[in-house]
Amino acid sequence: MQIVMSVDFGHDDQLIFAQQLGVNNVLVRINQSWNHEIIEQVKNRVKQCGLILVGLEGFDPKHECADNSVIAAGETGVTLLSTFMKENNQNIQRPIGRGNALVSTIKDEIYEDPIESVSHLAKKNNVKIAWTYPYVSNKPSTGIDLQITEWSKTQERQLAQTKAPVYIARVGNRIGKNQAFLDDGEISLPQTLRKLQSLGFSGYIATTPPPGLIDDTDWRHKGRSHDVGYLKAIIQTLESCQGH
């Protein structure tokens, strides 16, 4: 398992921050057309920062240019596209988290099913699609971006049945309907990641946006550093347990 950080194209401070935290892998969001030229710019900028471009996120399979985006990704050697789009959709936050941290209300979502024609096109172009999960049906998928905060025991069984590879496990935590710190909620992330590991998961771990800490930035640099440190500790513990 490896940590991957979500960053916005055009914000070099986020790439530098990933470097400083020792996170070598990034997922990049592009707020413009996903054409060949733009994707090459993304690749070059990530490479210049000494990081690894795992893939692009925010892929809209229903967009009129979706097919062109898949083809452009394949032509430029980008092999993973995630349909996850929630990062920028923060709702109103209230100071009710630990230490009066700003937290948002979690709206449990069931995402749309994979689109078979897009999956076929992606496979033809050597691109993997990570479909945001849980989705409506239990039909097979070429791969998923698993939302841990919205994962239930029923969906755990469904996931085992679909046998879809988990390309990205996106972790968050909650207390009731409210967002919580990764280490302070109803979900035991060490147990959850151990369970995923037992199902064969060895992919990338990303995080949902963290609670708002005092004097933090809009992008939550402090909160993200807390999350990365906590995840690193969990991964190191799981790896040491595997060795015994």
Query: Which H or E run contains 29?
Result: strand 25-29
How do the residues of the chain divide into helix, strand and coil, expressed in percent and rounded to 5? 40, 25, 40
Report which secondary-structure segment, H or E, holds 222.
Answer: helix 221-242
217 pLDDT above the threshold of 60: yes
Q: 57-92 burial, b if ≥16 CB within 10 A, otherwise e?
A: bbbebeeeebeebbbbbbebebebbbbbebbeeeee
- Alpha helix (H) residue ranges in 8-162: 12-20, 36-48, 66-75, 116-124, 153-162
Tokens 């990081």 map to which residue? 51
Average pLDDT value for residue range 50-56: 98
| 2-242: CATH superfamily | Divalent-metal-dependent TIM barrel enzymes (3.20.20.150)
d(CA 105, CA 114): 27
Dihedral of the alpha carbons of 111, 9, 167, 122, in degrees to the nearest 10: 80
Determine the Cα–Cα distance for residues 63 and 171; give it in Å rounded to an integer.
27
The structural domains of the chain, with segments of one domain joined by +, span 2-242
- CA-based nearest residue to 97, from 173, 206, 152: 173
Give the single-character DSSP code of 14: H
Give per-residue pLDDT as tens, 67-114: 999 999 999 999 999 999 865 445 688 999 999 999 998 877 778 888
Confidence (pTM)? 0.91
Residue 244 has pLDDT above 60, yes or no: no
pLDDT at 91: 67
**pLDDT at site 89:** 46
User: What tens digit of pLDDT does each residue of 54-78 get?
Assistant: 999 999 999 999 999 999 999 999 9
Percent of the chain at pLDDT exceeding 90: 71
Position 112 scores a pLDDT of 82
How far is Cα 167 from Cα 199, in angstroms, rounded to an integer? Answer: 13
Q: Which of the 8 DSSP states describes residue 126?
A: T
Residue 195, token pair as written in the block: 């369970």
Buried b (16+ CB within 10 A) or exposed e, 203-228: bbbbbbbbbbbeebeeebbbbbbbbb
